[in-house]
Amino acid sequence: MPVTSTTKVKAGPRERLLETATRLFYAEGVNSVGIDRILAESGVAKGSLYSTYGSKDGLIAAYLETRRDRQTLRIAEAIEKVDDPRQKVLAVFDAQARLFAERGFRGCAFVAASAEAPRGGTIDVATAGYRDWQRQMFLELAEGLGAEDPAALARQLHLLYDGATLSMRLDRDPSVAGDARAAAAVLIGA
């Protein structure tokens, strides 16, 4: 019986590769990290990487998928925890603040990965999917608020969220999430 992810005794090459790749890709960028380093630090043979993920691109895709799942789950949970439509919006920015406060957080993985990615490639597609999810989330939140133009409000809230994301990446100042929350409060109060 193959060892599954729930078993802690020993992780297989697939899990070790993904764990190491996630750590290195996120810290230093997908282009800066070569597979040799991932192999060395994970203790996996090169052949296993190519039989499991097919290519470096495949490993990158798996990496982005886990980041996306982590993020969407985190935000969905924060939204579900409260009932008031306004509180739901603020909960998103609170979740962002908690994310920014995490040790080792260095900005959104998708922003970093997509910056130098060739158009139409693996990273581009994964990023577009993540953006779609975000857009849909903000739209549902804005509709829940009963705004007269939910689509416009959703775009503005998304703008604040994006602004905090970019600012965090460029300035490395987690407090920006608080500013985004404050601005969001003004927008949904108006």
Q: By CB under 8 A, name the one of 7, 32, 55, 136 that touches its own copies.
A: 32
Positions 21 through 50 that interact with DNA (CB under 7 A): 33-37, 43-48, 50
Q: How far is the CB of 14 from DNA (least distance, A)?
A: 7
Q: How far is the CB of 45 from its own copies (least distance, A)?
A: 28
DSSP per residue, 90-135: HHHHHHHHHHHHSTT--S-HHHHHHHTPPTTSHHHHHHHHHHHHHH
Tokens of 82: 């409260």
Contacted entry of its own copies, DNA, none for residue 165, CB cut-off 5 to 8 Å set by kind: its own copies
Q: CB-based contacts of 41: which residues, under 8 Å, 6+ apart? A: 20, 24
Q: By CB under 7 A, name the one of 7, 55, 87, 136 that touches DNA.
A: 55
Asked if 31 interacts with its own copies (CB under 8 A), we say yes
Instruction: Count CB atoms within 10 A of the CB of residue 152.
Output: 11
Asked if 56 interacts with its own copies (CB under 8 A), we say no
Tokens of 32: 């800066």
Asked if 61 interacts with its own copies (CB under 8 A), we say no
* CA–CA dist 17, 184 (Å, integer): 39
Q: CB-based contacts of 165: which residues, under 8 Å, 6+ apart? A: 96, 107, 108, 111
* CA–CA dist 64, 25 (Å, integer): 10
Residues near DNA, by CB under 7 A: 1, 12-14, 33-37, 43-48, 50-52, 55-57
Contact residues toward its own copies (CB under 8 A) are 29, 31-32, 110-112, 114-116, 118, 127, 131, 152, 155-156, 158-167, 169-171, 176, 179-180, 182-183, 186-187, 190
